Amino acid sequence: MKRQRRSQGERSEEMRERVAHATFEVIAARGFSGLRTAAVAEQAGVSQGALLHHFETKHGLTLATVEYAFARASTKTEEIIEAGLAKGEDPIDLMLDDFRLYFFNDDFWVSLDITINASKDPELKGGIREIVPRYRLGVYRRWVGILSENGWSTGDAEEIVRMSAALTTGLGIRTLFDDVDAYLGPTIERWRKMVDATWPRQKA
């Protein structure tokens, strides 16, 4: 059977994602300050000319990488939800696992590195302010919906998600200067008990 040829648009989109992934890997290894198009081209296995054909400016490449990181994290969230709920796992535990995976992972650190540097660049800052709500706030809304469907009021679910995200964000940031692994598990466990006591589940 003859394999259907991909369209030019499909090939272009595949290449853009490949380059965005390579940029993500370069930033994860070198930091945003070490981002060079030559390094990205080498990581992606393409020529600099091919890279520039798909991303004419470093700004465009940077924003595509931010979107790639957030989209990848959102996909992981959906995988956690689908697999966990299918096994009958507690939705609060699933959410905390998702947040811990994200805030202690390169998806978060690469995005944070870019965002901090973008705060000094109006063009990048504007693009990131459009991307972040679409993806990250979308993840939080997704978890609010899951909790609302599983025994918590919408108001309680919003508080649980917001405060859980704040806690895990803070713990993730503390890894810059503290041995968080020494107390991460007990801290999450304590918070889990506080959630049960403060916002009890109303129904199965």
Where do the structural domains in the chain lie, given as residue ranges? Answer: 1-56, 65-198
The pLDDT of 16-35, averaged and rounded, is 92
Take residue 166 and report the two structure tokens written for it: 């704040």
Superfamily of domain 1-56 in CATH is Homeodomain-like (1.10.10.60)
Q: For position 49, what pLDDT does the model report? A: 84
Alpha-carbon distance 172 to 102, whole Å?
A: 9
Take residue 174 and report the two structure tokens written for it: 């503390």
Q: pTM of whole model > 0.85?
A: yes
Q: For position 6, what pLDDT does the model report? A: 64
Alpha-carbon distance 4 to 90, whole Å?
A: 43
Sign of CA dihedral 86, 87, 91, 95: negative
pLDDT digits (tens, 9 = 90+) for 64-89: 999 999 999 999 999 999 999 999 99
